[in-house]
Amino acid sequence: MTPSWRDRPTGSWFSRLWRPWTSLHPRRGRGRSINEPKPVGIRDLVAGPDEVVARPERRWTVIGGFFLVLLVALVVRLFFLQVLEYRSSAATVYANSLRVTTIPAARGSILDREGTPLVTNVTTTQIRLSRAEAALHPAIKGTLSSLTGLSVKKINAALNNQQYSPYQPAPIMYDAPPGEVEFIKLHPSEFPGVTVLSTSQRAYPQGGSTAAPVLGYVGPITGAELAAHPNQGYQTDSVIGKSGLEAYYEQYLRGHDGTQTIEVDANNQILGAIKTTPPRVGDTVVTNIDLGLQHALDAYLKYQILTDRRSIDPVSHLRPQAPNGAAVVLDPNTGAVLAMASYPSYNLNDFVKGLSNAQYSQLIKKGAFNNFAIQGLYTPGSTFKLLTATTELQTGIMSASHIINDTGTFVVPGCLNKTNHGCLFHDDDNSAAGLIDLPMAITVSSDYYFYNLGYLFWIHQNQYGQTPIQNVGAQYGLTTLTNVDLPNEVAGRIDSPEVRKQLHAADPKAFPTVTWYTGDNIEMAFGQGTTAFTPIALANAYATFANGGTRYQPEVAAAIVNPHGKVVVRYQPHVLGHVRLPPAIRTPILQGFEGVINNPRGTGYYPFHQYANFNLSAFPVAGKTGTASNAPGLEPNSLFVGFGPTTHPRYVVVCVIAEGGYGADAAAPVVAKTFDYLVAHPVGPVHLSPALSTTPSAHRASRSSGTPSKAG
């Protein structure tokens, strides 16, 4: 008998649920095949409750094992964090609570050649307010307003100024009065978040107006400037040189900022200082400027321009506008800039506490931010005759002794229409100088003589080339930058066919004509047309002639000295080029320049004998006037160049006054007075202490970048 499924031994749950059909369904009658399927019911497929063996220990084992794995993983991770990675984890957490703030360095000083301070620093007291405390105690703004007189609006503006770090108190008041500072110190509980800080700011012992465009000013760094100086330590609240020496020698003057590491809590409340690195004051720039001479030059230029504006031109009967002008004094033997003046100008003290928008706009309108000595382009007039005379004698197109009959009106040979302006060229004052040679042509400033040279060079261009005068002008450095160590210098130009094309391409309306005629070459030969120079370039050209043909790089700075008194850089004369000036060329031209001042027929004779009190025999001076025509209805530019003593020149003085009238009337008095001062107060050597003078010297490595090479 086949046993019932209940009598079979128990096996796996699967075997109990899935049995062979033969064991689940025994045969129930005859005639049915052994392989015939049997009916299946639910009882055949599902085990009974009493047949399933309960094993709860397995379930607990699986669940317990799972949580044990989690616990082991947690312990291992904690072990790594608390033991193996303890130091790095602690440092990371600690760093999250530290903030680094900048301690601004005091800028270096700027001195004159004798060590007299031109720009220094003074300690001033600032009242600052913490942004976090102001947020927690809003009433502090009103309290500060009552004490300082500042409006709450201004205090809010200072707090919202993104220029300052959010982790540093914002400056609310500069140069705070001692009484208010003392009150805050005596009542700290009434002023939560208010601190009093001593800071350094620029000071100008000479009044702020002396050599302002040369010294330049500083101001808060802008976003563009910050982007232009990446990885150089500048912060959003840094101060940077904006113009003049302050900008050109920024890398030395700025110093090195210090840092202060402070600890803050989760609410960014300052808990205390952790570490402080003190700032290092910037280096000192010792200049070639003579302070007394600079004072005098500033005063002479300003006085003459203001006087000129009140005068009446006796020839044109116009009142000169004289909108601007400049004057420069160079040492022709080294290129040292002894003084440089520009008018209109500004007072550097106005930048210490900040200019209002109205003040700034007014200065912009006047052009006060231009240093006209290096940025003003002026038609040179007869001062250009140095170039034409040099070209004449270098090429031999005419000898210095060749006699010309100056009739006062030059008629272009072969010109068909004699009444045409292009055929006739008149002397400036319609005077006829008569029979003259080159020295006398320079002395009396004969236009006729140089008209003739311009014509001769043009008709003989197959022999001398198309631009012989322009080529000599390039040797004198009048078509390139002088590379003076001041930012934003402008290059001059000498009129030529190529220059006409360039000017037309840049501004077709202002320069509609590109064709070059004989008359253009004639006008160019005596300093008219589109020719224009800066006063510094004109001074350097005459300095090149005065010293015999060596063109030096103009230098405002003489040395860089670090805070410990050691010379970092010592600037020596740097030669840029040469002009061929043997005695046969230089002597007759020099005779003409001497006659300008010493010959009663000379164009500079009257102003020098009126304004100069020194003995011209003991200290002989040579020079050249310039009267350059402007547009109809405007007075001409007034120019004068002088150098002396002529035996061994020590000084070159240039003055240019835009729309000032005749050179002898406006510019010459400034030069005459300047030489009068120089004779009475000779410029001495640059003052460096004996301990410093032994430091090796160096030339400036790159003037374009403003990065000098270091000494030693």
Distance CA 571, CA 557 (A): 7
> Which has more pLDDT, 196 or 206?
206
Q: Is the pLDDT of residue 441 over 80?
A: yes
SS (H, E, C) 127-140: EEECHHHHHHCCHH
Report helix angle 583-598 to 385-395, nearest 10.
Answer: 150
- Same structural domain for residues 111 and 26? no
Whole-number mean pLDDT of the chain?
Answer: 85
Helix, strand, or coil (residue 63): helix
Residue 305 sits in the same domain as residue 368:
yes
Does this model's pTM top 0.85?
A: no
Q: Of 236, 267, 287, which residue is a domain's last?
A: 287
Asked if 57 contacts 64 with a C-beta cutoff of 8 angstroms, the reply is: no
**In a domain? residue 501:** no
Q: In the prediction, which pLDDT does 29 show? A: 45
The yes-or-no verdict on residue 685 having pLDDT over 70 is yes
Per-residue model confidence (pLDDT) at position 424: 82
357 or 336, which is more confident: 336
- Amino acid identity, position 345: S
Q: How far apart are CA 554 and CA 325, in angstroms?
A: 19
Contacts of 13 (CB under 8 A, 6+ apart): 47, 52
What confidence tens digit (pLDDT) does each residue in 403-439 have? 999 999 898 888 866 555 668 888 766 578 899 999 9
Q: Which residues contact 169 (CB under 8 A, 6 or more apart)?
A: 128, 129, 130, 131, 193, 195, 197
Full residue range of the structural domain in which residue 253 is found: 99-287
In this structure, the answer to whether residues 219 and 332 fall within a common structural domain is no
Confidence class for position 143, pLDDT limits 50, 70, 90: confident
Asked if 156 and 209 sit in the same domain, the reply is yes
Please indicate, yes or no, whether residues 66 and 136 belong to a single structural domain of this protein.
no
pLDDT band of 23, cuts 50, 70, 90 = very low
Please give the C-alpha separations between residue 239 and each of 126, 175, 211, 414, in angstroms, as whole numbers: 16, 17, 21, 66
**Do 235 and 367 fall within a single domain?**
no
Q: 437 or 174, which is more confident?
A: 437
Q: What is the pLDDT of residue 577?
A: 97
309/229 same-domain check: no
User: Residues 596-603: contacts with CB within 8 Å, 24+ apart?
Assistant: 596/442, 596/443, 596/445, 596/622, 596/623, 596/624, 596/625, 597/621, 597/622, 597/623, 597/642, 599/443, 601/440, 601/443, 601/444, 602/443, 602/444, 603/382, 603/443, 603/444, 603/445, 603/663, 603/664
Q: Which two tokens stand for residue 515?
A: 């064709």
Q: What is the DSSP letter of 170?
A: E
Co-location of 129 and 266 in the same domain: yes
Region of poorest pLDDT, from 99-103, 118-122, 387-391, 663-667: 99-103
Instruction: Say if 17 falls within a structural domain.
Output: yes
Quick check: 581 pLDDT over 70?
A: yes
Element containing residue 118 per DSSP (H, E): strand 117-129
Instruction: Kindly report the length of the chain.
Output: 712
Asked if 113 and 216 sit in the same domain, the reply is: yes
Is the CB of residue 651 less than 8 Å from the CB of residue 330?
Answer: yes
CB 351 within 8 A of CB 217: yes
Using CA atoms, how far residue 679 sits from 132, 645, 682, in Å, is 64, 10, 6
Q: How far apart are CA 13 and CA 49, in angstroms?
A: 12
Same domain, 60 and 45: no
**What is the count of structural domains for the chain?**
4
DSSP string for residues in 655-680: EEETT---TTTTHHHHHHHHHHHHHH
Token reading at 19: 């049995």
Going through 591-659 in order, the beta strands assigned E by DSSP cover 622-628, 637-644, 651-657
